[in-house]
Every structure is written in C-alpha cells, then in structure tokens.
Structure 1
Amino acid sequence: MASFFGSKHAAPAPGDRVRPLHFFEDSLLVQGNNMAVSLVFNEVLDPEKLRQALESLVKRPGWERLGGRLKTNASGKIEWHIPVNFTAERPAITFVYVNHGVPAASHPAASKIPKPSTKPAVVGDPDNLADIAWEPGYKPNGIKDYLNTDRPVLGLRVNSFDDKTIVTLQWQHVTFDALGMQYVVESWCAMLWGKVSDILTPLSPDSDPFDVLAQGTRPASEQHVLADRQVGLGGMLRWGLGYGVDMFVRAKENRIVCVPESYWRPQLEKALEELRAEAVANGEDVAKVFLTENDVLTAWILQSTVRQMAPNPERLVAASIAMSLRKAFEGDLIPFAARQPYVGNAFGWANVLVRAGDVVSKPLSWLACQIRSAINQQGTRAQHEAYYSMVRSSGIGLPIVVFGDGGMAQVGFSNWSKAGLFDLDFAPARKDLRNNNQPCRPSYVQENHGPVKPVDGFFILGKDSQSNYWTSAYKVKGSWDKFQEQLDKAFKT
C-alpha cells in the first residue's frame, strides 16, 4: 500500500504552484470522503486510450488543478501543490490497469454486478465491487490518504474482462462535487473523441469565488425561510446521539436500488394529474403545475424510507437535498458555465421538514410538491446567502445548518443525474471496431466512498439507456429487508 500512496513525508517539489484551500474545500464534510465512481461497459475497452485522454485533459491549461497534490504547511494548514509540468515521475493522474483474463461471470466480484429489475427492488451491494473500484484491501481514510504524498487527487483504475470493462474514476472530494464531475467526465469524453475545441477552460483556482460566503463581505439581503427552525445546542446534542451513533457506531449495509421506468413514470403522471386537479379546484393556473422526474423519485425514496422506519406519526422527518450553487451565482460570483465552468465544490441544501404521518399517509404528489417548493424557495441566490450567513454564526465548523428538532429522522439526497454518467459514449476506446457505428455507453454505474458513510444518505446515480433509475445508500444493518418489504407493498398497490 505504501507504493500506492507514496512517501508519507514527501517534500514539496520545487516550482509547484502553492494555493490555499477554498472555502468549500476547507471542511471535514468533503475532506472526510474519498470517492470512486465505476462505469461498467459491456465491451472491451482500450485502457491506454482512456488514460491518455484523461491525462491530456489534466495537462490542458486551466485543468492542472486536477493533477494537484495535497500537503500540510508548517502551520498545519492543508494547501494545494500543483505541478507546473507533469512528468513520468510526477504524473497528472494515478493509473492502474488490471486485466483479469476471464469473463466477468467467472470473477468473484464482477459476477455480482447488479442487473436491472422489472419492479422496484434492492438489486445488489456496491461494496461487492470495492476491491475493483479501489486497490484490493484498501479502506478509504479520507484526505489523510493524500496528505504529504506525491499522489494526484485524481485517479483512473481500469479492470478488463473478456466481455466487460469497469472504468473507475477516483478522487478526493476536495477536488469537485457532482456537477464538477460532470464537467470533468464530459471533457474527458470530448478528449477521447478528439473534439478538443469543445473543451472549455475552467475558472482559475487562484482565487476563491465563494470567499464572500465564507467571510460575509456581502451581507444577506433576507432571512432564510427556515431560520426559526434551526436546531439549538440541546437539540444538536440529542440529534447527534441518535443519528451520530447510527453513522459512526452501528453496523451498516450498502445497497443499490433499481427503479424501472414502468414503475416511476406512472407515479410521475399520477402525481401531475393530482396536482392539476387540485389547481383546478382551487382556481389556480394549471400551466404552473410542475414536477421533475427526480422530484417524484426523491419523494418516493423518502416515503419508502419513512415507511420502513415505522416511526411515530408525530415524529419530524428532515430531508436534506444537496444543490449546486452554480446556477444561482452564475454571472455574479462565477462566470456562466457555457463560457467558463467552475470545476470544484459549490453546494447548498434544500431542506424539507414534514411529519412522518403525512409522509406515509398523504399522496406522493403532495410530498413531491413539498420537495419542489423547497428547491424553488431555497435555491435562490438570496436564500443561499442567508443560509451561509447562518453557517458563519453557527460555530460548528461545517458548511451546514441543521433544521428541525433533536428527535427528527434524517434522510439525505445527492442527485447525480445531471452529471450524465449513463450518457457517456466511450466508443473511440472500444477494441472491437465492428460495432464502431454504435454508441458505447455504461450499462451500470455505482459509487463507493469512505470513510464517512451517513445512514440513509441516498445517491441518485441517474437513468440508464432503458430509463431505469438507480439509487444507493447505507442503512443500519438489517434495515434493507424492511425497505424491500415496503417496495413490494408499493408495487402491489
């Protein structure tokens, strides 16, 4: 393992560009997790073409930060050390290629790659592929694995089988969030296709565009809509003893769920139909009724999770939905993405507070509407500024504010659909050129992360070519069977 991570006390290389961490990077929330996203292709791909395309991207002007190293300075502060030139001795990315030389079905881990289902179902455990996504036996330890080494923050691992290829992108979370990942994988794909002119130059990392949120140099213009629902110190202690024990002490299990189009689309259509009927009854404009596929999917996951918990109907349920700040601050703190994307971390949250009894008894359309309203209300520039004003005054040292009460049930969501992972076309990397007039897209996508693993923190990974949605999460051990029971009941009705 030492050779994988490099020397524990590697000295800074002369000439490296040294930059401090940005506001969203200087937090245990991102530093606590190393990420690995695995893309499964039902074809044999050329690992060298994949490596060359990604390395060439990182070497482009403006993209070098993805090849940066993380080191602590004499004051104990973590900072970026970005090589001016990448060499064979100091590569732009880490790269590992493993050729297993057998069909995937003959491999103990690859044979467990989940398959789509015809009804909503728990279909597999992403941790079965952990030794493929990471080096075998590796247990992620957060940013410590990168500190004071000469390991780039971005890595590529390719596992080949006779009939499949598993392509894994690895990174320390300080590097980028889900939308930042979108810019990376899309540009990687463009490089693979030779469409260099399509690749935009990211915003320079030399200064932190969101420093105003950290420092409060631009005061909030309004109060946050949930300001009166912030959890106080006593509530935080009570909540921490509950949710914190679940996250850090109790045994957990990772699972992935497939939601086929034949199930989710009728749910969306029914929800829209109910909301339109309600608008008519209230004399409101039917044209303003709006829900996304992900609103309904998030509501459905939340409802299934709360039903699995079987809580007291009066118990508060808090759903935290991660949002990118990019759209709200484009043309203000950051340029428009169509000109210069921001490849980093920039996140906020929409928080939905509802009674458990309402979640399980009211129609899915009602819950989806609560989610859409929270995203619309709390996703504005002014509300994000109000939120981070509360972060500054909270004193907890994390870029989060907890709303609700100390006894609430917490469910989190990170939606990666916009990253378009299932839409990537790696056709130029296929070895068998007989099908070269056909796209080469992932048949399956999963993520692995660690060591911080929040209970009921759902990743919505996107929609595959058959319009199946995929979502994964950790739950307290023994909970997934109860969750499947709820799915079966919902499917019957």
Structure 2
Amino acid sequence: MSGLLTYLPFFKNKQPPLPELLETDDIIPVHLFDDSAAARGIVLVWTYKFDDVLDPGKLHAALSQLFQMDGWRRFSGRFRYRPDGSLEIHVPNICSEERPAVHFTKEHHDSPMTEHPLAAKLPRPTGQVTTYSGPREFCSLGLGPGTPRNINDFVFSGKPQFCLHVQTFTDGTLVSVTHSHISTDLMGLASILEAWSLVLAGKPEAVAPMVGYREDAFDGLWNPAPKQRHVLADKVLDGWRLKYWGLRSLYDSWRCPDVQSRTLCVPRHTMENIMQEARSHIVVEVDDATSSGSSKPFISEGDVLTAVACRMLAQYHGPGSGRELATIMALDPRSRARSVFRQDAAYVQNSPTNIYFFCRANEALELPLGKLARLVREAIATQAAEEQLKAAASLSLESMRATKMPVIFGDKNMATQFMSNWTKGNLAEKMDFSPAVVRDAAPGLGKSKRGHPVYYHASDPSHNAVLVISSIFVVVGKDYDGNTWFSISLPGKMWSDLMDYLERFA
C-alpha cells in the first residue's frame, strides 16, 4: 500500500533529476496498449534455471548485439516521461559503456546451487502433486545491483528497458531478465528469446525482422474498422457499473486477506488422468451429412485446466450460489489474425485481446468437467475468430483512450478470475543457450536438454498493484519430464479445494 501512496499528489516525494537529454537520440512513441495502467504497474523478473554452467559474457554480448539490430534497437531505448505524463522512448544513436543496450550484472559462486540459501529452495519435481513457495519469494535472485524495480526507476535511472543478471554456480546457472511489462507481453518475450539464441549461435541473419519500431504494428486490428459486431458488445462493463464491479471486487479481496501465491507442479500421470476423465464426458458427434464418420469434439488441455479453475471458483462461492463467474483468458492474436500479422516477423508489444468465458457458479459445479471444458472451447472458438478479435480490439481502443484500460465485459456483480497459459510461448525450447555452455549438466539430475532451462518463473518486485482479482491461474508450461508447472494466487480455502481435487487423480 505504501508504494501506492506515492501516486497521490499530496504524498509525492521529490523526484531525482532526470538523465540528460541527448539530441542524437532517436525519440519514438510507446504504443497505445503498451502504456496501459496495468502495464505501468508491473515489472517482470524472469529467472531461468539451467543445470549447465553458462558463460555470462557470451549471453550479454549476444543480447546487446540483438538490441542494436534494425528494429530490435527499440529495446536499447530509455523510457522518458512527456510533459503530459505519457511515455516515450529515447534510443541511443550508438550504445556505449556509459549507455549500454542492456544493463548487465553477474555474480559467481564457487559452490553448488544446492548450498545457496535461496537458490537451493527453487522448485524441483517430486513425482507427486506438490506446491512450493511462489515466485515472489525468489525475486531477489534475479535482481542485480542497480536493477529497476518500477517504472520510475527505469525513467529516472536512465537504464535501458532490459536488465540481465547471471549467477553462475559449480553445478548450474541462473539467468534473470528484468523488464517493464510496457516493453512486451509473453509472446513478444518469446520472440526476443528466440532471436537472442540465434545471435548467440552466430546466426544474426536468421533473426526475424522486428515490426513496430516506430509505428504501432497492432494498428491493423482496428484500422480499418471491424466488419462484425463483437459477440459480447452488449456486456461491455462501463460507467457506474464498472465502478461498482471494481468496488465489489476490492471488497471481496478485503474479505479474503489470506490470498497465497504458490508454484504448483502436477505430474504427467495426474494430468493424463484428468484429461481422460474430461474426455469421457464428451459425447461422440455423428456426421449427419454423410452418416458414416463420427468424432469426439475437441477439447485441449488448456480448456480442461480452465474448467478446473472455474470449478474451484464456483466451489469457493458455494454450491447454492447463482453468481456469474467470469474467466478472463489472455489470447495472442499474432497467429490468428493472419491478414494483420506476418508469420515471418516478430511483434514485440502488448496484445489488446482477451477471451471471456461466463458461467453461473451452480452450473460450474453441476456440469461434468468435460462438458464445462467444451463450453470453454466454444467461447474461444467464437471470440478468437479474426473479425471478432478485431471487434474486441476496436472496443478496447475506445476504452484505452478514455481510461487507460482495455474493455471489460461482464456483469457488475460477477466474480472474476484471470487465466494465462504460457504453453504456446514454448519458452524453454526457444531459449537455446547451448553455444554458451562451458560445463555440461551433471548426469542423473533428471531429464533436460543441453543449454535449455529446466525451470523458470516470473515475479514482480514492485509491490505496487492493488488486486481486484484474487484468483489468478498461470499455466507456466511443461518440463522435460512432462510435469506441468503453474504459478497460482488463490485464497487459502481455494487452495485446499484445488489440492483435494488434484489428489483424486494422483
């Protein structure tokens, strides 16, 4: 809460002087959906654990080289405030030791990671459904000296948008990347990791062109105007209804102060059992046109996990509750709106699109898991069509210009949760640091791939956010043993319900 007070005019502290302006800098805009209220409040510290010992200098040199290439040099720029409070980026004409492309720090430990008081506690799979301390407990591992912790730190320090901190041990490496959410979303970060790996491998010519250096590459989602009306246009939450929902959500959060953020690991066999049960609830559909073929409707693992999250939220509100539940799912339009985005280019920005799934609490408890997952799939299929993505982006454009927030759909009394699935980012596979390996992983540590992380998470050191949504499910992805990893924030009762539910399939 104390961090929030600095944003109130009568609590403002005297700010340090801004770094000197250089006439040789290229001044470029921060795109509309990058400078949202939410993005400003989030700094992400990504920590990737490798069982290999890596060369920090090679990692730094490759990332610095990437951020000095055409288009990609946007990320060597520094955030600056304009007189009206909006942001712009000042890109150095030439990067130097005084103004580097990347803020780089490193630390060497002449001991194994297992002897470090904090790194030794990083999660490892146990073969059972297991929870661990959440990513925030390990945030200090990723913060090197001088690493910014909030947007003001970035602006007033004059640091570049990306900070790299590498800690080497005798039995592995921790590679941490810190950036403001203003710089990119998950899929944009995936493009950076892939390009970084290519430069590290000596293949800069293979790096995809970065679109959006100066112009907003997402403009094609709303210009020209969409041809369709959004299917949820009648459920836009605005005006007094939006304020009512926000206040009620804050009250709900206040009533459950025991929100706990943890990392969860679900073994392969447990996920397989959950999927088997869900698919057993799906009725085979007969093709009436030919009367010959039949097939089961498709549901993905992500659909089923979303259905599980809905069931937990419904159980939290009680079996007799008819309250509307809204699950907001982050969705990347880059691969879906093919008339807007080239598939051979990198778009490193923040996406304006989400998918909404609505159901009543009692319905979420009464429906079999597979049928609930099927409804999730139907919502995604409808709202993820290209013209619907454009319609949603167009509505969010109006909302962003008015409130600095994307559009929210739903009812003023709804209970809301957020679901983000990072599996499509495939970060562990795209992050190929094998050219920087100086010592291979020791045998017998479990399945791994040379030069690829065996575990990763993201945390936020700023502590500035007021959570109106206390139920957050993030599917981090699968490791090389097939375990599925999650980063989840839930009230204590929901955690108990979730663990009891998962144990049924263990």
Q: Give the TM-score normalised by the residue count of structure 2.
A: 0.86
Give CA deviations for 1:390-442 in whole Å, capped at 9, x if unaligned.
33555751442222222222111122112212223322222225989962321
Q: 1:220 to 1:19 in 2, by over 3 A?
A: same
Q: What is the aligned partner in structure 2 of residue 279 from structure 1?
A: 285
Contact 1:23–1:210, Cα closer than 8 Å, also in 2: no
Residue 374 of structure 1 is aligned with which of 379, 383, 388? 379
Amino acid paired to 1:163: D
Residue 351 of structure 1 is aligned with which of 337, 350, 356? 356
Distance in 1, Cα, partners of 2:184 & 2:470 = 22
Distance in 1, Cα, partners of 2:123 & 2:302 = 22
- Once the two structures are TM-superposed, the CA of residue 485 in structure 1 deviates from its matched residue by 3.5
Give CA deviations for 1:168-207 in whole Å, capped at 9, x if unaligned.
1111111111111111001111222223332112114211
Instruction: State yes or no: 1:330 paired with 2:330.
Output: no
Residue 439 of structure 1 is aligned with which of 418, 426, 450? 450
- Once the two structures are TM-superposed, the CA of residue 64 in structure 1 deviates from its matched residue by 0.3
Contact 2:39–2:182, Cα closer than 8 Å, also in 1: yes
Q: Identity across aligned pairs (percent)?
A: 28
Distance in 2, Cα, partners of 1:457 & 1:104 = 30
Distance in 2, Cα, partners of 1:207 & 1:393 = 19
Name the count of aligned residue pairs.
479
Residue 104 of structure 1 is aligned with which of 113, 126, 129? 113
Q: Secondary structure at the match of 1:328?
A: coil
**Unaligned segments of structure 2, at least 5 residues:** 1-14
Amino acid paired to 2:209: T
Instruction: State yes or no: 1:57 paired with 2:66.
Output: yes
Distance in 1, Cα, partners of 2:111 & 2:98 = 32
Pairing 1:72-83 to 2, within 5 Å after superposition: 72-83=81-92
Instruction: State yes or no: 1:210 paired with 2:218.
Output: yes
Amino acid paired to 1:197: E
Contact 2:270–2:502, Cα closer than 8 Å, also in 1: no
Give CA deviations for 1:118-137 in whole Å, capped at 9, x if unaligned.
33332332122111022489
- Once the two structures are TM-superposed, the CA of residue 160 in structure 1 deviates from its matched residue by 2.1
Q: Secondary structure at the match of 2:53?
A: coil
Give CA deviations for 1:99-151 in whole Å, capped at 9, x if unaligned.
2333222222112111224333323321221110224898943x222124311
- Once the two structures are TM-superposed, the CA of residue 162 in structure 1 deviates from its matched residue by 2.4
Mean CA deviation greater in 253-262 or 477-486? 477-486
**Unaligned segments of structure 1, at least 5 residues:** 1-5
Contact 1:391–1:398, Cα closer than 8 Å, also in 2: no
- Once the two structures are TM-superposed, the CA of residue 293 in structure 1 deviates from its matched residue by 2.3
Amino acid paired to 2:481: Q
Q: Give the TM-score normalised by the residue count of structure 1.
A: 0.88
Instruction: State yes or no: 1:316 paired with 2:324.
Output: yes
Q: What is the aligned partner in structure 1 of residue 392 from structure 2?
A: 387
- Once the two structures are TM-superposed, the CA of residue 344 in structure 1 deviates from its matched residue by 1.4
Instruction: State yes or no: 1:94 paired with 2:103.
Output: yes
Amino acid paired to 1:313: S
Amino acid paired to 1:390: L
Q: What is the aligned partner in structure 1 of residue 76 from structure 2?
A: 67
Q: 1:257 to 1:373 in 2, by over 3 A?
A: same
Distance in 2, Cα, partners of 1:88 & 1:139 = 18
Pairing 1:13-412 to 2, within 5 Å after superposition: 13-135=22-144, 140-141=149-150, 143-211=151-219, 218-245=224-251, 250=257, 252-275=259-282, 277-280=283-286, 286-287=294-295, 289-310=297-318, 312-332=320-340, 334=341, 336-338=342-344, 340-394=345-399, 397-412=403-418
Give CA deviations for 1:194-236 in whole Å, capped at 9, x if unaligned.
23332112114211133466xx653332221122223354432
- Once the two structures are TM-superposed, the CA of residue 69 in structure 1 deviates from its matched residue by 0.6
Distance in 1, Cα, partners of 2:293 & 2:17 = 63
Q: 1:188 to 1:365 in 2, by over 3 A?
A: same
Q: Secondary structure at the match of 1:171?
A: strand
Contact 1:321–1:412, Cα closer than 8 Å, also in 2: yes
Contact 2:454–2:480, Cα closer than 8 Å, also in 1: yes
Q: 1:281 to 1:222 in 2, by over 3 A?
A: closer
Contact 2:330–2:421, Cα closer than 8 Å, also in 1: yes
- Once the two structures are TM-superposed, the CA of residue 84 in structure 1 deviates from its matched residue by 1.7
Q: Secondary structure at the match of 1:431?
A: strand
Residue 426 of structure 1 is aligned with which of 409, 429, 433? 433
Q: 1:246 to 1:149 in 2, by over 3 A?
A: farther
Distance in 1, Cα, partners of 2:318 & 2:99 = 53
Q: 1:44 to 1:8 in 2, by over 3 A?
A: farther
Mean CA deviation greater in 35-44 or 143-152? 143-152
Give CA deviations for 1:56-93 in whole Å, capped at 9, x if unaligned.
11122221011111001234331011112111111001
Contact 1:57–1:63, Cα closer than 8 Å, also in 2: yes
Q: 1:50 to 1:19 in 2, by over 3 A?
A: same
Mean CA deviation greater in 277-286 or 471-480? 277-286
Mean CA deviation greater in 316-325 or 194-203? 194-203
Amino acid paired to 2:79: L
Q: What is the aligned partner in structure 2 of residue 3 from structure 1?
A: none
- Once the two structures are TM-superposed, the CA of residue 167 in structure 1 deviates from its matched residue by 0.8
Instruction: State yes or no: 1:448 paired with 2:459.
Output: yes
Distance in 2, Cα, partners of 1:355 & 1:66 = 44
Q: Secondary structure at the match of 1:410?
A: strand
